Amino acid sequence: MNYNKSFKELFEDKLLRDYPEKIIKGMNEQTVVLQQIKTFCELNSLDYRQELKNLGFQQYRKGTILENEIPDLLEDIFPDKTIEKLGSIRECHSQLDTRINKFHKERKMSKKEYLKSIGFNVRRL
């Protein structure tokens, strides 16, 4: 029996119904579908996280700030989309600042360039 095919047949539609963008953020381990997935994988010696990944799903912890959430979070803090100084991001939301640092480095951009690319102006470094 091809267990990977069975996994896909059993769970892909259920997962797509709950996570149409294939991003699972803070999946509650008490949900019925996750309990079914974990039980199926345990019985068939499969790693449920790997099986989710094989279906193209990305899994994140509940509190993780995703890149597409950064502009809205920044706009909550800086509604006019103007940041007086870079340090003010950390002062207001250190976790957001940490994620911005991660993404601007991944793109080999300065922090100021990255913020500009998502629609924000920085007056001072």
**What are the start-end ranges of the H helices in 44-110?**
48-54, 70-77, 87-92, 94-106
115 close to 83: Cβ distance less than 8 angstroms: yes
Q: Does 15 share its domain with 30?
A: yes
Q: Does 56 share its domain with 71?
A: no
pTM of the model: 0.74
Q: Does 47 share its domain with 78?
A: no
φ, ψ for residue 106, nearest 5 deg: -60, -35
At 11-68, the pLDDT tens digits run 899 899 888 999 988 777 667 888 888 888 998 898 989 999 999 999 888 889 999 9
Has residue 73 got a pLDDT over 60? yes
DSSP 118: T
Structural domain span for residue 14: 3-60
